Amino acid sequence: MRVLVVEDERVLADAIATGLRREAMAVDVAYDGAEALEKTSYIDYDVVVLDRDLPKVHGDEVARRLVAERSATRIIMLTAAGDVDDRVEGLDLGADDYLAKPFAFLELIARVRALGRRSAPALPPVLERSGVRLDPGKRLVTRDGAEIALTKKEFAVLEELLRAEGAVVSQEDLLDKAWDEHIDPFTNVVRVTMMTLRKKLGEPQIIETVPGVGYKL
């Protein structure tokens, strides 16, 4: 899942990003509204965690523009103003969810995951295919009932393959969803991650390489 955190309080923004990355999400950070609009213009995010009170371009305007573009990106607004009128106003702007500061980080994770499922065609919270079962909430993977320990990136790659439901996923799409904007597009990190993932999943091999196209499960 690809997430953009938009928050002008840098310590808070970086803390949120770090926590979401620990949940195997690919996370970018913007510290003002203008930077957020720039990033969303060329990256398709599943979820934007958006503070309302932003410098340069207000969070309300960022939400309006994303909604006007009919983007599939889901928006969760963060703000220190937590009364009913503020929540209603935020939702009326087109936000999908609203969380008042201070908030419990576990609740933010759950809400981001829920919105991420809504950014694509509806899929069950637990993904299963070919004997593999992946539970994003519990960060648990099993094959034929046996638990498999994966790194964050292996987990994220497997999640994207399962979400594709048998369709081919390109290397570019995997880089986009499992790594952040700082990754070198010419790196071989996807191939290396796929090798270690296949090894951990064991025999018989269930991840197929489609030459020149990508991978499918």
Q: pLDDT tens across 152-182, in order?
A: 899 999 999 999 999 999 998 998 888 877 7
Arithmetic mean of pLDDT, 186-200: 91
Quickly state the pLDDT bin for 150 (edges 50, 70, 90): very high
Token representation of residue 27:
């996370």
Q: Is the pLDDT of residue 121 over 60?
A: no
Report the alpha-carbon angle 77-152-186, nearest 5.
95
Encode burial over 86-105: b for 16+ CB neighbours within 10 A, e otherwise: bbebbeebbbbbbbeeeeee
For the full predicted model, state whether its pTM sits above 0.85: no
Q: What is the pLDDT of residues 42-62, one digit of tens each?
A: 898 999 999 999 999 999 999
**Segment holding 74, helix H or strand E:** strand 74-79
Percent of the chain as helix, strand, coil, to the nearest 5? 40, 20, 40
Give the per-residue pLDDT at 157. 95
Give the per-residue pLDDT at 87. 67
* Higher-pLDDT residue of 143, 98: 143
Mean pLDDT of the chain: 89
Report the alpha-carbon angle 62-24-202, nearest 5.
145
Categorise residue 139: left if φ over 0, alpha if ψ from -120 to 50, beta otherwise. left
Give the per-residue pLDDT at 70. 75
Do 4 and 39 form a contact (C-beta atoms < 8 A)? yes
